Amino acid sequence: MKVTANFLYLSGSSFLFGGSAHALVHLLKMER
């Protein structure tokens, strides 16, 4: 159970990081 929760946490954090990075790139493209 603990392993599953840890896996979900890692996947969730990586998803949030990827989403924020994608949004940042989009904002940089809009600036130009």
Report if pTM > 0.75: no
pLDDT confidence of residue 10: 86
Residue carrying structure tokens 């969730």 = 12
The total number of structural domains that make up the chain: 1
pLDDT digit string, tens, across residues 1-32: 788 988 888 888 888 888 898 888 988 898 77
What b/e string do you get for 1-32 counting C-beta neighbours within 10 Å, with b at 16 or more?
eeeeeeeeeeeeeeeeeeeeeeeeeeeeeeee
pLDDT confidence of residue 15: 85
Which residue range forms the structural domain that includes residue 18?
A: 1-32
Q: Read off the tokens for 12.
A: 């969730």
pLDDT confidence of residue 19: 87
